[in-house]
Amino acid sequence: MLNRIFFLLLMSCFFTSAQTHRFIYELQFKIDSTSTDYIKTNMVLDINPKDVKFYEYKFLRMDSINKANQNYRFRTWGFQNIITRERNSFKNKNFENLDDLFVYQTDDSMKWNLSNETKMADKYLLQKATTFFGGRQWTAWFCKEIPYNEGPYKFRGLPGLIFQIYDSKSQFKYNMLQSKSLDMTYDTTGFIEGYAGTKPLEVSEEMVQKKKLERFNEPFKDFMLQFDKQPDAQYFYRGTQITSKDQLKTFEKQAQETMMKENNPIEVNKVIHYSKK
């Protein structure tokens, strides 16, 4: 499988002026650290001549629908943050959707410890490396034959492309599935640099953390305000008609319990410590 995937890539490992090399990874992760179940999604790593972009595969399907239907803007968002960065840089732009779309920059330098341990993936020799990043210990397997020092999410800086990477608790696991080369750099303005026609607001990482905490404390704030303005209007939440603010408060508690349970970010050192009042 990997032999077929990378044959053309190895034949033309240097970029043309507008070429994108696209790598698809399967991500398995636990949104709840205490769960035995994994959520699976496919992620895209686009290595362009000047930058690198990492996002969920379903955004490509969304983009195709939008381009085919000019009068309809399909909206979606995923579990994982969108990341972009310049080539050969550890400075990432992080995109997050919290009702509004935000972007903030982080410096995510990491130091790798190379091991002499190797293994084969089809005909490709992979070498082991480890790093501590985001409050987790990570093990990566990279291939020197693929001369890109990139990998999924923010992981980069090794002398070859990362094929696999996972944390010591196996709560996040990336595994290379496939690759292809695109003749032109893929235009992502419809779902990264913009979302449903809206450009992201440039903020600090601290502001995003503050917004997440505010959303936890008042998850139905806008709903409550609208209810006060028009109490006689019909309101529905997940198929249930809302007839009183007390009913909304019940749903609010349920939403808070879900947020507390599903609070296992990949960078666990940045976890928000929610607490009920």
Helix/strand/coil (H/E/C) assignment for every residue in 173-222:
EEEEEEEEEECCCCCCCCCCCCECCECCEECCHHHHHHHHHHHHHCCCHH
Q: Is residue 61 part of a domain?
A: yes
**Final residue of a structural domain among 182, 214, 231:** 182
> Per the structure, how many domains does the chain have?
2
Tell me, yes or no, whether 129 and 227 share the same domain.
no
Q: Is residue 275 part of a domain?
A: no
Q: What is the pLDDT of residue 70?
A: 60
Tell me which residue range forms the domain holding 71: 2-182
Mean pLDDT computed over 238-255: 83
Reference 209, options 85, 96, 53, 132; nearest CA is 96
Tell me, yes or no, whether 39 and 149 share the same domain.
yes
Tell me, yes or no, whether 208 and 173 share the same domain.
no
Tell me, yes or no, whether 147 and 209 share the same domain.
no
Tell me, yes or no, whether 211 and 172 share the same domain.
no
Q: Is residue 172 part of a domain?
A: yes
Q: Is residue 198 part of a domain?
A: no
- For 143-189, what is each residue's pLDDT tens digit? 999 989 999 999 999 999 999 999 999 999 999 999 999 988 998 98
Mean pLDDT computed over 32-61: 94
Tell me, yes or no, whether 134 and 245 share the same domain.
no
Beta-bridge partner residues of 114: 129
- For 9-31, what is each residue's pLDDT tens digit? 544 444 455 588 999 999 999 99
Q: What percent of the chain has pLDDT over 90?
A: 59
| pTM for this prediction | 0.89
Q: Is residue 52 part of a domain?
A: yes
Tell me, yes or no, whether 30 and 76 share the same domain.
yes
Tell me, yes or no, whether 173 and 55 share the same domain.
yes
Beta strands 201-202 and 100-107 are parallel
Using 50, 70 and 90 to split pLDDT, how confident is the model at 68? low
DSSP run (H or E) holding 92: strand 91-98
Q: Is residue 191 part of a domain?
A: no
Does pLDDT of 208 surpass 90? yes
Rounded Cα distance, 152 and 123, in Å: 21
Q: Is residue 22 part of a domain?
A: yes
Mean pLDDT computed over 100-108: 94
Using 50, 70 and 90 to split pLDDT, how confident is the model at 249? confident
Tell me, yes or no, whether 170 and 215 share the same domain.
no
Q: What is the pLDDT of residue 14?
A: 47
Mean pLDDT of the chain: 87
- For 119-152, what is each residue's pLDDT tens digit? 999 889 999 999 999 999 999 999 999 989 999 9
- In the chain, the amino acid numbered 249 is K
Tell me, yes or no, whether 262 and 230 share the same domain.
yes
DSSP run (H or E) holding 3: helix 2-11
Q: What is the pLDDT of residue 171?
A: 97
CATH, residue 119: 2.50.20
Tell me, yes or no, whether 157 and 215 share the same domain.
no
Q: Which residue has the higher pLDDT, 276 or 103?
A: 103
Q: What is the pLDDT of residue 79?
A: 58
Rounded Cα distance, 36 and 16, in Å: 45
Phi-psi region of 183 (alpha: psi -120 to 50; beta: other; left: phi over 0): alpha
Tell me, yes or no, whether 170 and 210 share the same domain.
no
Q: Is residue 199 part of a domain?
A: no
